[in-house]
Amino acid sequence: MDFRLSDEQRLFRDTLRSFVDREIVPVARDWEHEGRYPTEIVEGMRKLGLFGLAVPEEWGGLEADTVSFALTFEEISRGWMGIAGILGSHSVSCWMIARHGTEEQKQRYLPELATGERRTAIALTEPGAGTDLQSITTTATRDGDDYVVRGTKMWITNARHADPLPVLVKTDPSASPPHRGMSMLLVEAGSPGLEITKDMGKLGYKGTESCEVVLDDVRVPASQLLGGVEGRGLQQALSSLETGRVNIAARSVGIAQRAYEEALSYARERTAFGQPIGDFQAVQLRLSAIAVKLQAARLMTYWAASRMDEGVRMDTESGMAKIFASDAALECATDAMRIHGGYGYSTEFEVERLYRDAPLMSIGEGTNDMLGTVVARSLLAGKATIG
C-alpha cells in the first residue's frame, strides 16, 4: 500500500497551499467577524479552475481524482472552513449532474459550472427532514409540460448564488416505500415563486450563506427533471453524498491541521515560569495527541478517496472517514484552545474560530450517529470487511 501523493497531486497541493496562505489566511479572521462575503476569494478559486473539480474534462472541468478533490477541501479549510462550503455544495451538485443528468442538461449547465460562471448547490434538507430525507414534504405536481413545486428547504449553502438549484421533491407522495416517488428537479434562478427568504444565523461556518428557500407554486419545465426519469431522486442525491462525505472528512483534516499549527506555534512562543510552555509535559502530551489524531484522520480520508478512484462503492469507507476525521477535528480544536489557555477564548486568535467551525463536521452530510449505523449495517451484511 502506497500512501504517498503522486507528483501531480503534490504540485496541486502546493499550488493550493500557496493560494490559501496568500489569499485566505491573512483575511479570514477579520472578514469572518465582519460578516463579509469573500467575493475576492471566490474569484481566486474560479481563476484556479476549482469550480470545475467534479466536472468531466469534456465539459471543460478538471475532473480531478478524488484524492486531489480531498486535498482541495483540506487546504482551503486550513485557511477558512466556510470558504470550503462554497466550493463543496457546488462540487457535490456538479458531480450529481455529470453522473445522472441527461445529455441536454449536461450541455446546458456543465461548461459554465466548470468555469464558475454559473454556481450551484443542492437543496435536500427541510425544516422537518434532515437525516431522514424520505420524510420531505416538498412536492412537484405534473401540470402539462411543467411541474408545480411547493415546499420549503432549509440550511441551503450557496442558495443565493445557485443557478440551477437542484431540489429534491416528491413527484409521487403516495409511493411506498417513499423513495420510489422522489425526484430531483433543476430549478433555475429567478423562477417565479422561488424565494430565498433569509440567511440562517450560525455559531460558525461563516463566509458562506445557509438559507431558507421557499418554493411557492414554482413552475419547472419537465425537461429539468434530472436524468429525465421520475423516482430516482433519492438515489441520485445519496450517490453524490459519497463525495460529500469525503469533502467533509477533508475539511475536518484542514481544521485539525490548522489547530496543530496554531498550537505548535503558541507552545514554542508562549512562556510561563521562565520557559516556553512547550517544555511542560502536559502541553507536550496535548500536542502529540493533536498530531496523532490529525495524521490518522488524514490517512483515513485519503484511503476513502483512493477507494472511490478505484471505482468501487465506498459508502462504508467514506462514512468511516467522515466519522473519524470530524471527531478528530473537534478534539484537536479543543486541545489547541486549551494549550492557548485564556487567549484561546479570545476572538483575536485563530483557535476560537476553529473551535466554532469544528462541530458542524460531525453534523454535515449525515450525522455521525446515523453514519455509524450505516457502517455497522454494511459490516453485518458482509458488504464491507475490515482487515
CATH number at residue 161: 2.40.110.10
**Active site annotation includes 195:** no
Q: How confident is the model at residue 30 (pLDDT cuts 50, 70, 90)?
A: very high
Asked whether residue 373 falls in the same domain as residue 285, the answer is: yes
d(CA 378, CA 96): 23
Asked whether residue 280 falls in the same domain as residue 367, the answer is: yes
Asked whether residue 217 falls in the same domain as residue 314, the answer is: no
d(CA 230, CA 211): 27
Q: How confident is the model at residue 156 (pLDDT cuts 50, 70, 90)?
A: very high
pLDDT, tens digit (0-9, with 9 covering 90-100), for 184-211: 999 999 999 999 999 999 999 999 999 9
- pLDDT at position 384 over 90: no
Domain count, the chain: 3
CATH number at residue 320: 1.20.140.10
% of the chain at pLDDT higher than 70: 99
Cβ neighbours around 109 below 10 Å, total: 23
E-assigned strand segments in the chain: 139-143, 146-157, 165-170, 182-187, 194-199, 210-221, 271-272, 275-276
Asked whether residue 102 falls in the same domain as residue 195, the answer is: no
- pLDDT at position 273 over 70: yes
**Active-site residue, selected from the candidate residues 331, 350, 352, 365:** 365
Burial of 44 (0-12, 13-18, 19+ CB in 10 A): middle
The grid cell for 201 is: 444565523
Residue type, 137: T
183, β-bridge pairs: 169
Task: Tell me the pTM.
Answer: 0.96
List CB contacts of 266: < 8 A, sequence separation 6 or more. Answer: 277, 339, 340, 343
- pLDDT at position 381 over 80: yes
Is 121 within the bounds of a domain? no
d(CA 324, CA 249): 8
Asked whether residue 289 falls in the same domain as residue 315, the answer is: yes
Is 74 within the bounds of a domain? yes
The size of the chain, in residues, is: 387
Query: Angle at the Cα of 234 (from 229 to 238), degrees rounded to 5?
Result: 125
The residue out of 231, 258, 279 marking a domain boundary is: 231
221, β-bridge pairs: 146
Asked whether residue 185 falls in the same domain as residue 250, the answer is: no
Q: How confident is the model at residue 98 (pLDDT cuts 50, 70, 90)?
A: very high
- The domain of 317 spans 235-380
The residue out of 196, 231, 266 marking a domain boundary is: 231
